[in-house]
Amino acid sequence: MVYSNARDIQKATQNFTNILGEGSFGPVYKATMPAGGVAAIKVLASNSRQGEKEFQTEVSLLGRLHHRNLVNLVGYCVDKGQYMLIYEYMSNGSLEKRLYSEDDTLTWDERLQIALDISHGIEYLHEGSVVQQAVPPVVHRDLKSANILLDHSMRAKVADFGLSKEEVFDGRKSSLKGTYGYMDPAYISTSKSSLKSDIYSLGVIFFELITAIHPHQNLMDYVNLATMDPDGGVDEILDKRLIGKCSSEEAKSLAKIAFRCLHKTPRKRPSSGEISQAIVKIKQRRLPKVGTMSFAGDDLNRLTSMIEDQQVELSKILSQNEN
């Protein structure tokens, strides 16, 4: 991980003028780095509450968690009271902006792949990997479409780990963290977050992908209406821009997964691994069976995931040796 100074970052961001957006932590700028390449710089706002703690959380977690579906933290800066985080640049911005854009509609294939990418990222946080265990499990605590970023190929990565915490089964309550509309009702009522709180948020995001209705625009009211008609309810809430351009059966299958994620009893919600397998099976149904040889979709997918994780680790080791 690279440590930069404020002067270099100021120059790279054209004196902090090339702004990409702003979150609770502070503004995010596009930067052309001195060593080449483009990065996103998140700057701690002077009035950010608990900003230093969030900064430390991101550096601590992303310094040891590496997965193709997590946004990569490439460096940071602590200089004269300024706190900045340097991330890989995600050229297609957030899922929230892309999903609600009138100019460029996400296709159904892109949405289904995004759902799978997110579930893989959360699976890694919750269940770890063979190469590098994420132990204890990490609860993100602020999953939402604004915190899902898209690269040049429209592949999704989970971002913004400032509110994340390692899961400790001590039964203690904590102050509520997250974004209303995405927060687990069980968490709101008990102040106890868990892996299943993330699963609830994941279900909300899946329904956003299906409907293009934001949680702050009464998404759950539409979802509840859909539950009254198991056969045609999902068709009624499907994003109008997708009508005639996607498989109704696939949309219903993803909705079924989302409904399970939103179960009012947290322990009855699926695990992140089960969600990944279920989405893989949706995609697998498209593939024609060739001869008698076949891989189980989830097995092939997990094998691919392991290989890619190993590549990430190898690149990291080689980079450290070069330095």
| pLDDT recorded at residue 26 | 81
Strands 2-3 and 73-79: parallel
> Which position has the higher pLDDT, 6 or 156?
156
| Entry pTM | 0.83
User: So what's the pLDDT on residue 153?
Assistant: 94
191 vs 148: which has the higher pLDDT: 148
pLDDT of residue 55: 82
Q: pLDDT by residue (tens digit) across 228-281?
A: 876 668 989 999 999 999 999 999 999 999 999 999 999 999 999 999 999 999
Other Cβ atoms within 10 Å of 99 Cβ, number: 22
> Which pLDDT band holds residue 152 (cuts at 50, 70, 90)?
very high
- DSSP state at residue 249: H
Higher pLDDT, 309 or 236: 236
Q: Assess contact for 211 and 205: CB atoms under 8 A.
A: no
Structural domains of the chain sorted by starting position, each given as residue range(s) with its CATH number in brackets: 2-88 (3.30.200.20), 95-284 (1.10.510.10)
Tokens of 171: 């039964």
Mean pLDDT, rounded, for 65-76? 90
Mean pLDDT, range 208-224, rounded to an integer: 94
CB 93 within 8 A of CB 152: no
Tokens 């509450």 belong to which residue? 49
The CA–CA distances, whole Å, from 241 to 24, 55, 106, 195 equal 31, 39, 9, 33
Share of the chain above pLDDT 70, in %: 79
Q: What is the mean pLDDT of residues 4-10?
A: 83
pLDDT for res 308: 63
C-alpha to C-alpha distance for 206 and 145, rounded to whole angstroms: 9
- Residue 61 — pLDDT band, cuts 50, 70, 90? confident
Answer yes or no: are the C-beta atoms of 239 and 212 closer than 8 Å.
Answer: yes
Q: How confident is the model at residue 318 (pLDDT cuts 50, 70, 90)?
A: low
For residue 270 the two structure tokens come to 């699926």
Length of the chain in terms of residues written: 323
Residue 102: predicted pLDDT? 85
User: What percent of the chain has a predicted confidence (pLDDT) above 90?
Assistant: 47
Give pLDDT, residue 144. 95
Name the helix (H) or strand (E) containing 90: none
- Supply the pLDDT for residue 80: 77
- Side by side, which strands form the sheet with 27-32? 2-3, 73-79, 82-88, 38-43, 27-32, 19-22
CB 70 within 8 A of CB 129: no
Query: Token digits for 78?
Result: 């602590």
Q: How many CA atoms lie within 13 A of 74 on its CB side?
A: 15
149 bridge partner residues: 94, 157
Give the residue, 171 or 122, on which the prediction is more confident: 122
Helix intervals (H) in the chain: 6-12, 51-62, 95-99, 108-127, 185-190, 195-211, 219-227, 233-237, 248-261, 272-284, 297-322
Determine whether 114 is exposed, middle or buried from the number of CB atoms within 10 Å of its CB (0-12, 13-18, 19+): buried
Q: Which of these ranges, 37-46, 118-127, 178-187, 277-286, has the smallest mean pLDDT?
A: 37-46
Residue numbers annotated as active site: 142
User: Does residue 310 register a pLDDT over 80?
Assistant: no
What separation in angstroms does the CA of 242 have from each of 105, 149, 238, 259?
Answer: 9, 21, 7, 20
Q: Confidence band (pLDDT; 50, 70, 90) for 97?
A: very high
- Residue-averaged pLDDT of the chain: 83
Higher-confidence residue of 193 and 185: namely 185
